[in-house]
Each structure stands twice: as structure tokens, then as C-alpha cells.
Structure 1
Amino acid sequence: MAIYHLSIKIISRGKGKSAVAASAYRSGEKIKNEYDGIVHDFTRKGGIAHTEILLPQNAPQEFANRSVLWNSVEKIEKSKNSQLAREIEIALPKELDREKQIELVRNYVKENFVDVGMCADIAIHDKNDGNPHAHILLTMRPLNEDKTWGAKSKKEYILDENGEKVKLKNGNYKTRKINTVDWNEQDKAEHWRKAWADIINKCLEENSIQDKVDHRSYQRQGIEQIPTIHLGVSATQMEKKGIATDRGNINREIRKQNRILQEIKLRIKALLNWVRRIGKEEKENDNLTSPLPPKENLLSVFENLIRKNADNHNTDLEQYIESYQFLKEKNITSVSELKESIVILRDKNYKTTRAIKDTEKKIDDRVQLIDHAKKYLKHKDTYTAYTKLKKNKQDTFYNEHTAEIILFESAKKYLKEHLGENKTLNISKWKSEIGTLRKEKDTLYSQMIDIRKKVEQAESVRSCIDKLLQEKRELTQVKKQELGL
């Protein structure tokens, strides 16, 4: 099954990052950063399936060398907090072979980035762990027609109502910054995300693969479905070997719940369509010939059915009794009231689905906090040792402890984003909250099963009424034949 993933992040000098280091790591090459003199050697890194650089027409040809390209970026960006590059990471369809994956990425990058003036450094990674993906490093500064770097922004004077420049108290004129390109516009991310989904779907269709992906969340798609959680590389590998993991078990439970929720939704929809059809038939037919006249009490109809079949040991008797009990319990006396009851079930199912989704998200949030907190604590000492080293020794240490440092930085970033300034890693509290939330989810799950039972009862009523209608039609047909009509 094709999956969709696209993430965007900025490589910023202000956060201690380097475009040269990022390129060297993703391409598995050895590159010296002329900005600070550090040599980044990742030639021993495995899993590099393909690398290439795509350039716009007004880029110098020497930029085809990633060392030249990214050192040029490092040189032109003077500020200590400069944004050096934009990285887009995308999951590749496993259904496609390597050649088609490369072509897919190349077309996407060319159409969306290179053709508008960005230089793109592509690296496809695949460790044969079921997670082929591509890293795309993009330049953030436009190029001039003479193949030199252009400005990211320019100043524009702010004018008053008379078209005059507005003078400030310090004697300067009021200005505002205008971006020279629209690459940082908020809607660009959505555009790039959709474009990736579109090009994947087109490629899958061209290769006679039925799968489709969607860049939108379930909520935006209007799908009332509980999203599964991200397994991660280690859990994925264990699951492939037949070893059950906690995350795998969670996803299996979520898929089971989604099947039930979808089943209930479809069955309720079918019931409502049936009720509308019955109502339409009642309006079209003469009430005197209808087995279910609007004013007739449904309870009376089923009481008569039960009496009629009581002595005949009819196989439908049990169903008639169950349907009667359901109608009596809900005090349903007409088809319109039956419809109202089904609508209530539909609304309750919707609310239960949303509640389960919200609860599942809260559980996943805490699971993620625990996972990242454990990684943070596990690799903290390694990262501290790394930061205390001199610049000329850091690169060697980084090469030896790449995974630990990346995991620590990722965990640190996640915890900061989700905890803010609160640095307390209260793992025991989060575990306790997960236990409480799972009990809430179990209660909601029981409600979902109860809704399904009530849907079954409503379907039983439908079945009985359909039999009545069919008998009436057959009887009417016989009478017509007797009368020679």
C-alpha cells in the first residue's frame, strides 16, 4: 500500500546547522566547509541509493559539484542566524522499482523547484527496511541572470495617503521588507504537498497500480477514521520478522476499530436510504393498499404478525418478536419515528468516532513524549561530550556517534515544541495518563459495540417490513391476474 509522507524543514546556521554538513551526510560524501574549516566525512554511511544535483538554467555549471554549491551558499550567507537551505523529505512508493522512483523524484523536483530557480541536491536512501525515501536540499536565495546570487528580499518605502515617504523620528524613512521570491509564502507548503501526491498518483496509475495517496489529513478529507501511529524503523523491522511490538499492537487495534466504525457508518447509511425509499413509496401509493399506512401504529403491525405466526411455528417468528421488542423499547410507532431513531444512532456514532479519535491522539501524544524523553535521557551524555569538544575534533566525534547525536537533537526539538519551557520529563505521570485514557477508550469502544447492536435491531425491523411489502406486492399481482388486468 502506497503511503504519503512529506516534511519540510529549514537548515539554519542559527541552530548550529550547516548546509555543507547536511549535504555531506545525505549524499554520503566527504566535503570541507570553507566557512568554518570543518571537514564532514560521511563516506562510510550506508543506505545511499542515488544522488544527483539539478540546476536551473541561470546556475553556474560548477554548482553541479555539491561541495562548490553549498560552500557558495555558506559564503553568500553572512548572518550568524542565516537560513541556508530548505530540506524536503519524502517517502517513496515501494510499489515502484528504483529507476521509476528516481524518475518520479526527478520530475517532482524539476517541476516544483528547479523550474522556478532553485538548485536541488537529491539523495535517495534505502536500507532495505521498507522505508525508501528521498532528501531534497534546496537553495533559498534566487540566482541572477548573470549566474550570481541575488537578494532574498528588498526594502520598499511605505508611503502615506499623499504618496509621500513616511519619515521616522530618527530621520530615516519607514520601509518594509519585500521578498524577491515567493518560496517562503505560507501556501507554498500546501502546494508542494499536493503536487507530490498528484505526481505519485499519476505515476501509480501509469504503472497500473490501484493505490492512491492523499496529502490531506483524514479530517480534511472528511473521513471519520482513527489515524494509525507511526511505527518507526525499529518497530517496522521487528513487525516484519513476526515480532509483535507495542506500536504494532496499537495500530492493529486502531484498524479493527476503524473497520467496525466504517461498517456501522455504511449500515446506518443503508438504513436511512431504505427509510427514505419507504416514505417515497407510501406517498406514491394509495394508503388503502399500503401495508404500512402513515397513521398505523408499527407496534400494532408487529403484534398482528406475531399473533398470525404464533401457531404456525414460522421461522420468522423470532425475528418478529425481536423487532417488536426493539420498537417497544424505543417507543417507535411509525416509520418516521424509526427514521428519527436511526438518525440518532448516526449522530451518536459520529460523536463516538470523534471521541475515540481524540482519545487515541491524546494517548499517542503521551507515547511520543515518553519515547522522546527516553531518547533524550539515553543520549544526553554523548551529546554533552560532543558540544564540549573543540571545533576541529567535533567532526570526528560526530562521525562516530552520528545516530546518537541525531536522535538526541530530534528528541530535544520535539520536547521543546511540545513542552515549551517546562523541562520536567514526567514519564511516570504520562504513563499514568495513558492508563486512564485507555480506560476511557475502552468505554467508548463498548458504546460503539452497543451502537452496532442497535443497528442490527433496526436492520431486523427493516427485514420484516420488506417481507410485508413483498407479500403485499405479490398479493396485489395475483388479484390483478385474477381480474385480467
Structure 2
Amino acid sequence: MSIKNGKKGKAASHSAYIAREGKFGRNGKADDLQLHQHGNLPSWANDQPGVFWNAADKFERANGTAYVELEFALPAELAPAQRSELVQEFAAKVCGNKPYEFAIHAPEAALGKVSQPHAHLMINNRVPDAIERPPELHFRRYNAVHPELGGCKKDSGGRHRGEMKALATSIRETFSEIQNQYLEKYGHADRVDHRSYRTRGIDKVPERHLGHARIKQMSEQAVGELLQKRQA
């Protein structure tokens, strides 16, 4: 799982990317989209994530964070419907009542040519407070004295580095627990652990994610050797 901040000006484009919309749906790219959902959008967004993220790009403060993205691998052992159920439960758990959008992709891996299911979850950290605001006010700085005159409060504000690290660890732990519940529920013996090999006392070097571009540059022999090593 990777956890990344998305800056103002990037949200709408990234939303289109995970939803495989517009230019991101061309050349068969949309074929790997298995599920696309959203939730907790304010009424002015008209149930359209693109409207919400465009407003975030326009009205969020300069150099502000428009969204946080969790990108995470999903158990290949589970069927597509089971993975969808898993992601829906995880999103509800970590997002609460905050606006979010997620998509599940299942492209063919460059290494091994197997399905590589994963999800992108975009979360906006402005917490709804039952005050109706137009989009230009929604993303303004929070006003503690007169909340109706400011924007929705961000629940990420004021946290120091240690708190952010602890939050990231907690999110990963929650996801590992939910994965294991689903693996058990659907009859699979495998389990996952969010902790590093070092923390668990395992003397083993984890495999690095290479990505499509790097794998394409590798020779057939190098790819074959890597696959043999993985199998061993």
C-alpha cells in the first residue's frame, strides 16, 4: 500500500484516470476497470465525482492538498465480486463520512502475465458538518468562531510527522485485518501482515516493485531468472 498526497490542480485528472474516463479510457485502457464507486459527496456535486474534484482544484488554497490517495494490492485469490466487497468495507472504515472515490483495476502484470488486481482510493479530508456551503466556500479555510463563514474543517490539519506515521501504520493494519477476514471467509489459508520483515524478525529481502517500463527493458533471460527466483 502506498499513501500519497494529491496537490491542488491534480484531483480531477487523477479521478478521470482511476475511473478510466476521457483520454484515460482510450486504447483499451478501460478494459481493466472492474468497479468504480464514490460516496459522501456534498449536494452541489450532483453525485458526480468530477464536479467535486474540479471544485477542489479550483477553490482549495494555493499549494494545498486536494486529496489523499491510498493505492493498494488486492488478494488475487479472491473473486472480483469478493474483492469489491472487501474494498467497499475498507473504504467505509477509513473514510467515515468524508468524500471519497475508488476504482478497482485488474491489469495484466508485465512480469508473469497474471492478473494484478489493485485499488485506488481518493479521499478528501474536509469533514462534512451539516452546514450547506457552495463549492467556493466549501474549500475555504475553516472558521472556528463562525463555521458557516468558512470552509469544512480538514481532519489532517495540525498533525506532526509522528502522528502521520502512526496514522499510516494504523491504516495498513486495518487493511491487513480486513483482507485476512475475507481470505478466511472465502476459504483461503493465506494471510497477510502489514509489518515489515525486519519488524517481524524475518531475515529476508523483500522483492522490489519494478513496474512495466523497467521490465520492458529487461532481457528475456533476466525475466526468466527473476520468475524462477520468485517461484523458488
Is the counterpart of residue 19 in structure 1 residue 19 in structure 2?
Answer: no
Superposed counterparts of 1:38-187, under 5 Å: 41-44=23-26, 45-46=29-30, 47-55=32-40, 59-60=42-43, 62-79=45-62, 81-113=63-95, 115=96, 117-129=97-109, 130-148=115-133, 149=138, 181-182=155-156, 185-186=163-164, 187=166
The structure with the greater share of residues assigned to helix is: 1
Give, as a single letter, the amino acid of the residue that structure 1 aligns with 2:128.
L
Could you list the runs of 5+ residues in structure 2 that have no partner in the other structure? Answer: 110-114, 146-152
The equivalent residue for 1:454 is none
CA distance in 1, matches of 2:144, 2:226: 53
Per-residue Cα deviation, 1:343-387 (whole angstroms, up to 9, x for no partner): xxxxxxxxxxxxxxxxxxxxxxxxxxxxxxxxxxxxxxxxxxxxx
Cα distance, 1:144–1:76 mapped onto 2, change above 3 Å? farther
Q: Residues 67, 150 of structure 1: CA spacing in aligned structure 2 closer, same or farther, 3 A cutoff? A: closer
Counterpart code for 2:4: K
Amino acid at match of 2:55: S
Secondary structure of residue in 2 paired with 1:146: coil
How far does residue 71 in structure 1 lie from its aligned partner after superposition? 2.0
Task: Give, in whole Å, the separation in 1 of the partners of 2:172 and 2:46.
Answer: 27
1:225 aligns with 2:225: no
TM-score (norm 2): 0.76
d(CA) in 2 for partners of 1:206, 1:120: 27
For residues 150 and 226 of structure 1, what CA distance do their matches in structure 2 show?
44
In the alignment, which residue of structure 1 is the partner of 2:188?
209
Asked if structure 2 preserves the Cα contact closer than 8 Å seen for 1:151 and 1:180, the reply is no
SS in structure 2 of the partner of residue 21 of structure 1? helix
Q: Is the Cα–Cα contact under 8 Å of residues 125 and 155 in structure 2 kept in the other structure?
A: no
Shift of 1:103: 0.8
Alpha-carbon shift at residue 118 of structure 1 (Å): 1.6
- Give the distance between the partners of 1:189 and 1:213, measured in 2 at CA: 17
Shift of 1:244: 4.3
Q: CA deviation at 1:204?
A: 0.1
**Matched residues in 1 for 2:139 and 2:7: separation?**
19
Q: C-alpha displacement at 1:224, in angstroms?
A: 1.7
Alpha-carbon distance, 1:216 to partner: 1.1
State the partner residue of 1:245: 222
**How big is the shift at 1:99?**
0.7
The aligned residue for residue 193 of structure 1 is: 172
Greater Cα radius of gyration, structure 1 or 2? 1
By how many angstroms is 1:144 displaced? 2.4
* Equivalent pair of 1:51/1:122 in contact (CA under 8 Å): yes
Aligned equivalents of 2:141, 2:231: Cα separation in 1: 47
Residues 48 and 253 of structure 1, relative CA distance in 2, 3 Å threshold: closer
CA contact 2:61–2:140 (8 Å) conserved in 1: no
Aligned counterpart, 2:150: none
Distance 1:139 1:152, change over 3 A: farther
Instruction: Percent identity, please.
Output: 27
Distance 1:78 1:225, change over 3 A: closer
Number of equivalenced pairs: 207
Within 1, Cα distance between the matches of 2:86 and 2:3?
Answer: 18
2:112 paired residue number: none
List runs of 5+ in structure 1 lacking aligned partners: 1-5, 31-40, 157-178, 257-485
Q: CA deviation at 1:153?
A: 5.7
1:410-449 aligned within 5 A: none
Q: Which amino acid aligns with 1:127?
A: P
**Matched AA of 1:28:** R
Match of 1:10 in 2: 5
Seen in structure 2, the aligned counterparts of structure 1 residues 125 and 152 have a Cα distance that, compared at 3 Å, is: farther
Q: Is the 1:141–1:152 Cα contact (8 Å) retained in structure 2?
A: no
Query: Against the structure 1 CA distance between its residues 215 and 29, is the aligned structure 2 distance closer, same or farther, given a 3 Å change threshold?
Result: same
Q: How far apart are the structure 1 equivalents of 2:20 and 2:131?
A: 32
Letter in 1 for 2:58: K
Q: Aligned AA for 1:75? A: K
Describe the shift of the 1:19–1:136 C-alpha distance in structure 2 as closer, same or farther (beyond 3 A). same
Task: For residues 95-145 of structure 1, give each alpha carbon's deviation from its aligned partner in whole angstroms, at most 9, with x where no partner exists.
Answer: 1111111111010000111x1x32111111112432111111111222221
- The 3-state SS of whatever aligns with 2:25 is coil
Q: Return the alpha-carbon distance in structure 1 between the equivalents of residues 143 and 81 of structure 2.
A: 42
Q: Distance in 2 between matches of 1:26 and 1:254?
A: 29
The 1:218/1:63 distance shift into structure 2, 3 A limit, reads: farther
Residue 29 to residue 244, structure 1, CA distance change in 2 (3 Å): same
| Matched AA of 2:13 | A
Q: What residue number does 2:149 align with?
A: none
Q: 1:223, 1:217 → 2: CA distance?
A: 9
User: How far apart are residue 255 of structure 1 and its match?
Assistant: 7.7
